Structure 1
Amino acid sequence: MSNMSTRSYKDAVQHLNSLQSNAATLDAVRASGGKSSNLAIPEMLEYLGRIGYCPEDLNALNVIHITGTKGKGSTSAFTSSILQNVKPDWKIGLYTSPHLVAVRERIRINGRSLPEEDFARFFFEVWDRLQTNTQRQHEKTSLMPGYFRFITLLAFHTFLTLKVDATVLEVGVGGTYDSTNIVPKPVVTGVTALGIDHVSVLGKTLKEIAWQKGGIYKEGVPALTVNQPEEGLNVLEQRAKELKASEFVVVAPVGELETLRLGLAGEHQVQNATLAVHLAKSFLHSQETPDESAHLSEKFRTGLEVANWPGRCQTVVDPSHPKITWYLDGAHTTESLECCMRWFISPNAALSPRHNANSCRVLVFNCTSGRSGSSFLSTMHDVVCTQLKHHKTHINARDFFDRVIFCTNVTYANGKFKGDLAAVAIPDDDLKHLQTQNQLAEAWQSIHPQFRGDQIHVLPSVEHAIDVITSLEDPERVDVLVTGSLHLVGGVIEVAGLSEVALK
């Protein structure tokens, strides 16, 4: 791509989007567990060298490296928040993926997204170095790295330039071959829950998934994990020994978390917070500021209570339409959708006393093409039935949602994406014919044969979905659950104008 006359944030996003992979390439990477080729790590190291760094430079970032099938983003958010509160004079870097509304959300300093001007400045510094230094060690290495590799390089460059005191680094895909896995010696590493769901989705055994995740363990570095299925736990322990970790620890429960009001909603967050506590304690111990108390200090407790992770079990009252409450969760696996529905169908959410006969519940859903939408919807229905029974309500499961909307992740009604949300990973035919959305509607109808057809909406964009919801005139209160895709949640935050309240 030729240089543009200006170098704004918008320009940076356009350049970055030119590095996106298509749907087929992304499917191949996911199926490999992040191992797109045997040169995945060597190529990443080559790119790192081309922008002026050697691997050992990354040790200065004081990295807490986190992977897992589910909960790694939440665990990262908890860990960052704890460190911010324990060490308010420190500069804490946080690198996560994907983003919801703006790509700069992936690179944070003390919990705040990198400002647009800083993102653009650091972006073009990395871009120019890669464009200028074209010497390659591996002939198959492309001139420019792919989208995720580039942002990872950008995060490293940003954190090194700003001289952060600690870096919470979330793995993108897998672990062993992930772009983040080039830090020679992190301070501590952690593996969150290994979801059984990914075994069926990726066609891999739990052993293979555990092997990939355990690849972030390093020689002389503590290797932590939560309690796992025995098969997966055994592999993680073997990986820790093979990679010569200083210790392998299955973290113990932290009793106080059961009664603490965590900043992230959902009962499943207790396990993520538990790992975060142990990661933070291990990190602080290495920095000669140990917290040896058996109880959580006030600063630890505050960090857990104020932790924020947008788009995950998040409740947002619409600032422009006060009668609408958005329940946002980017759950996109069977297991995460189960957690999402248990959170939503509770007195703190959809079963709130505020919901009465003049209220309306709406489901907005989408999932990645190729995933089993029918299975997802069946799982959600099963949890609806279980939760309604558990809470002893008189609501019939088939009447729980008054309307359902299946829309694409396309941002606007004109068929365009917001720049930060642009995606080339959606097959053209799928978008053109709304194949996934029509399949979801058919699956819903088969599960709920008595559901009225005019209450099911198949729509081509997020903006179309928002228009349907905001035009509902009869109900006094509208509770909207948005789930199935983080990209969908991001689109809703953008189009509904929720950014100021949802992303704070």
Structure 2
Amino acid sequence: MAQPDRSLGVPPSANSRSLLTEKTAEIDKLNIIHVAGTKGKGSTCAFIESFLRAFGERTGFPRKTGLYTSPHLIYPEERIRINFQPIARDLFAKYFFEVWDTLSGNNSSLQTLPRYLQLMALVSFHAFIKEGVEAAIYETHHGGEYDATNVIEHPVATVITPLGMDHVKQLGPTIENIAWHKAGIFKRGSCALSSPQEASAAEVLQSRASEKYISVQFIADDLSLPADALQLKPDVQRMNCSVALATVRRFLEEKAPKDAAPLSSSDILQGIEQFSWPGRFQLVVEGAFNWFLDGAHNEMSVSKAAEWFIETSQAQSCRIPFVRILIFSQFSEQRDAAIVLERLATTLSTIQIHYVIFTLYDPEQNFESATAMVATPDDASQKAFGLIWKRYHQNSRILYEPNIRKALDSARKIGTTAGGMQTLITGSQHLVGGALFPLNNHVPDLEPT
């Protein structure tokens, strides 16, 4: 196979590497599990953390888990979690400015400051070291070989989740290119695990692992997992959980105290029961209003989001009055939003979607301005979305809203008239993050109707 173009992606800067060189021993004490992939990275990381936390609560190791993920949905401190809780805002500020002052101070030899994602990764290392984390899980941003998190030199384990076509401008136009980049997290002396992959991608992973004198283990569905756990639905979550569980077992073989009992069935059940991952297959219930949120943003992931919505909404529909609504938005230079919407429309074609609401957001801003109007409702891209949708769902009524709050308000009005509703919100993590804040803070209207 021809080698991919090494210019694709952005390597960790020399500044980041030089700053971390003297901290290598302290970073090694974090006992890091490094996770890359196209889909399921966040969920797999969260399952790993949950299993380790359950084991630690019983045995005393690890006393503290660290979890670094991106992007955040609402607040930046969500990216850095200790025992799954986002780091307190005052601690986040403290550690951020300690890193910033070191980098920008008069005694610093750095000629350029790290970019945003590099800086966030540095802050996470600093916070986890200061807080005494004993097991840390790191999600790559979107690559592997040249990802800002790939300054980790001695991970205990590396994990590749399902691969697909995404971020092709940075990672290359083929699945083999993408696999090459993702496998860049493999390290000599560290175990490597992967979800099942298509043959060409698996071959690249195996080749890259052999370059580091290791082998990659492909994990199958774990048949011992509980059959009916809601946390393991849809099936993609069962696969993510299986990979996470295999990773934790390998991790504990390496790092658990020698006198500690192995991971128990009660640890596994507790890890599954306490698992959550905001914005991924998340259901928010407001009486007869059911909000289905999934930050899916590529063809591969919106299909899974749609399948989950179909299965769950059909199970509910026999119990509550309902109207089905889709809220969709996507603006990206990394992928073709029209193709993503076509895949979503195709997968949802087996059920009736009564209303579709296309909305706008500002992907460059935080959640507060992400709900602000950035274009008129007759924006050309929005109208193009409507034309695409009508090709697959001629009977849907299409609405255009200028911002996320108005889209939610429209869904509530429709649901009130119908006596209940099921609304799928998908297409972008920015959309889901912008929706979660008002949903989490919504106060129902208590005035008589």
Q: Per the shorter chain, which TM-score range? A: 0.7 to 0.9
Deviation of 1:68 (Å): 0.8
Quick one: which of 360, 367, 371 aligns to 1:408?
360
Deviations 1:456-483 (A, max 9, x none): 1222211121221233331110111100
Cα contact 2:346–2:392 (8 A) shared by 1: no
Partner of 1:22: none
- Please say if 1:482 is aligned against 2:425: yes
Take 1:478 and 1:212, find their aligned partners in 2: how far apart are those partners? 42
How far off is 1:418 after superposition? 3.6
Q: CA contact under 8 A between 1:314 and 1:327: conserved in structure 2? A: yes
- 2:181 aligned with 1:175, yes or no? no
Aligned to 1:469: 411
Q: Residue in 2 aligned with 1:187?
A: 156
Match for 1:284 among 236, 252, 259? 252
2:447 alignment partner in structure 1 = none
> Do 1:262 and 1:306's aligned partners in 2 also have CA atoms closer than 8 Å?
no
Q: 1:420 to 1:373 in 2, by over 3 A?
A: closer
In structure 2, C-alpha distance between the alignment counterparts of 1:493 and 1:417, rounded to whole Å: 13
Amino acid at match of 1:340: A
Structure-2 residue corresponding to 1:340: 305
Query: Counterpart of 2:231 in 1: which secondary structure?
Result: coil
Q: Are residue 383 (structure 1) and residue 325 (structure 2) matched? A: no
Contact map agreement 1:56 1:184 (CA 8 A) in 2 = no
Q: Deviations over 1:55-88 (max 9, x none)?
A: 3431111101111111111100000000000111
| One-letter amino acid matched to 2:355 | R
Q: Residue in 2 aligned with 1:329?
A: 294
- Residue of structure 1 equivalent to 2:34: 65
Distance in 1, matches of 2:122 and 2:170, equals 29
Distance 1:243 1:422 in 2: 46
| Cα distance between partner residues in 2 of 1:150 and 1:41 | 11
Is 1:159 the equivalent of 2:128?
Answer: yes
Q: Is the 8 Å Cα contact of residues 374 and 444 (structure 1) preserved in structure 2?
A: no
Aligned twin of 2:439: 496
SS at match of 2:70: coil
Kindly indicate whether the alpha-carbon contact (under 8 Å) linking 1:94 and 1:167 is maintained by their aligned counterparts in 2: yes
Residues 406, 437 of structure 1: 8 Å contact kept: yes
Matched, 1:81 2:24: no
What amino acid does structure 1 have at the position aligned with 2:328? F
**Alpha-carbon distance in structure 1 between the residues aligned to 2:169 and 2:101:** 42
Structure 1: distance between partners of 2:355 and 2:179 = 40
* Among 429, 434, 438, the residue aligned to 2:379: 434
Provide the C-alpha distance between the structure 1 equivalents of 2:393 and 2:425, rounded to a whole number of angstroms.
Answer: 19
2:327 counterpart letter in structure 1: V
Q: Percent identity?
A: 32
Counterpart amino acid of residue 66 in structure 2: G
Deviation readout 1:114-165 (Å, 9 max, x if unpaired): 111111111111121122057446xxx63x2222111111101100111101
CA distance in 2, matches of 1:80, 1:198: 26
Does the 8 A contact of 1:326 with 1:482 survive in 2?
yes
Can you give the 5+ residue segments of structure 2 that lack an aligned partner in the other structure?
444-449
| Cα distance in structure 2, aligned partners of 1:72 and 1:416 | 24
- Which of residues 445, 453, 459 in structure 1 aligns to 2:390? 445
For the 8 Å contact 2:236–2:304, the answer to whether it is kept is yes
Q: Does 1:269 align with 2:230?
A: no
- Structural RMSD (CA): 3.1
Distance verdict in 2 for CA 1:493–1:278, change over 3 Å: same
Number of residue-to-residue matches in the alignment: 433
Shift of 1:241: 1.4
Aligned counterpart for 2:269 among listed residues 284, 298, 301: 301
Q: Quick one: distance in 1 between partners of 2:191 and 2:261?
A: 17
One-letter amino acid of the counterpart of residue 164, structure 1: V
Equivalent residue number for residue 392 of structure 1: none
Secondary structure of the residue that 1:209 maps to in structure 2? helix
